[in-house]
Amino acid sequence: MKNNYISNSLSSVCFIGLILGAGSAMGAAEGEVLAQKNGCIACHAMDKKLVGPSFQEISKKYKGDSVAQATLIAKVKAGGTGVWGKIPMPPQSPKVSEADIKTMVDWTLGLS
């Protein structure tokens, strides 16, 4: 009886872990889908520089930066130039919602 309880408890823990992991994967996939839907891929590729830096370059540059999420959300919303070269990135707000920008930034930062 005790072994059955432990076995059922472990199964429940594993199932919950799978569900949480699937949620993270779904969030990651959602970030990529939003980048495509919002036209980000016209200037950014996954692994090579186009007009702007690749998503992987961005992720590597900001890895371990405690304020990276807020910094990148502000950059995407307002646009800007100078960090990656002279070609400006146009502002994406209000065309792209803040929630979508956050999801895409989180996805990008999670690539490294």
| pLDDT (0 to 100) of residue 25 | 52
| pLDDT (0 to 100) of residue 29 | 84
- Sole residue written with tokens 């930062």: 109
Instruction: Give, as one character, the DSSP assignment of residue 44.
Output: B
Domains, the chain, ordered by start: 30-109 (1.10.760.10)
Residues of the chain with pLDDT under 70: 1-28
Tell me the pTM.
0.74
CA dist 72 and 78 (Å) reads 10
| pLDDT (0 to 100) of residue 27 | 54
Tokens read off for 110: 């999670």
